[in-house]
Amino acid sequence: DQQVKQNSPSLSVQEGRISILNCDYTNSMFDYFLWYKKYPAEGPTFLISISSIKDKNEDGRFTVFLNKSAKHLSLHIVPSQPGDSAVYFCAANTQTGANNLFFGTGTRLTVIP
Amino acid sequence: EADIYQTPRYLVIGTGKKITLECSQTMGHDKMYWYQQDPGMELHLIHYSYGVNSTEKGDLSSESTVSRIRTEHFPLTLESARPSHTSQYLCASSLSGGEQFFGPGTRLTVL
């Protein structure tokens, strides 16, 4: 059973507008959440993370929001740029124990110039 | 800058061949991981290691095996490749339980 879900396989956004990518999780033991960006034929690149003790983390154009009660997190990219076009993966783990990451299926973001 | 390397980047082989996918990292990370990913699917953990001489199977059953004789090196071996092994294989490492750094991946095609 998939513990991290990204229900939107794709998203298209106009350049300069906001991109919002969503992620849901089912395991209440998760306490650390990450977003990765992946280009074709390359490995995922870490973007931004958030601990469960926070509800928001910002890094430049990227902001991650966490809603623990809803078991939901989102990544906001503003303003969106054509170079942001890639597949974005949400991931989660627990900071104790095995620490293994659980990934969603990814959302393909296309930023239209 | 993450320094984790995978070779080969692309591999096309025939059924029944033995293959080894190489993964090395220069960051001194204790933890290393192998993931398998098919297009449009999530990354599935197939093996992980918490240090030298430590290897564990991941969530996705795999016929591959791994070894961890040196901290920096975590090779994956398939004794007899089959078309069902066609996939992208991603290696990663981490220092703690958080961020993992990924290599560029090996795209394996078994004919």
Rounded to 5°, the CA angle A33-A64-A62 comes to 125
Q: Say whether pLDDT at A32 is over 90.
A: yes
Confidence of residue B61 (pLDDT cuts 50, 70, 90): confident
Residue A40, pLDDT score: 83
Q: How far are the Cα atoms of A6, A38, A104, B38 from residue B42, in angstroms, in the given order?
A: 10, 12, 5, 8
Q: State residue A84 phi and psi, 5-degree precision.
A: -80, -10
Distance of residue A50 Cα from the nearest chain B Cα, in angstroms: 10
Contact B102 A45 (CB under 8 A): yes
Search chain A and give the residue with CA nearest B43.
Answer: A103
Nearest residue in chain A measured CA to CA from B102: A43
CA distance A34 to A48: 6
The CB density around residue A66, as the number of other CB atoms within 10 Å, is 19
pLDDT at B65 over 70: yes
Whether B2 has a pLDDT exceeding 70, the answer reads no
Q: What gap in Å lies between CA A111 and CA B79, rounded to an integer?
A: 43
pLDDT score, position B79: 93
For chain A, what percent of residues have pLDDT higher than 90? 87
Token digits of residue A25: 């999780």
A26 and chain B: CB distance < 8 Å anywhere? no
The token pair that represents A77 in the structure block: 């990219």
Establish whether the linkage from the previous residue to A79 is cis, with ω within 30° of 0.
yes
In this predicted structure, what is the pLDDT of residue B6?
A: 97
Residue A100 pLDDT > 90 = no
Average pLDDT for A21-31: 95
- Residue of B100, B106, B108 best to disrupt the A interface, most CBs of A under 10 A: B100
Q: How far is CA A98 from the centre of its chain?
A: 21
Question: In this predicted structure, what is the pLDDT of residue B106?
Answer: 96
Residue B108, burial from CB neighbour count under 10 angstroms (0-12, 13-18, 19+): buried
pLDDT given at position B1: 55
Average pLDDT of the residues in A76-85: 97
Return d(Cα A55, Cα A45) in angstroms, integer: 22
Average model confidence (pLDDT) for chain B? Answer: 92
pLDDT for the residue A98:
62
Instruction: Average the pLDDT over A34-40 and give the result.
Output: 93
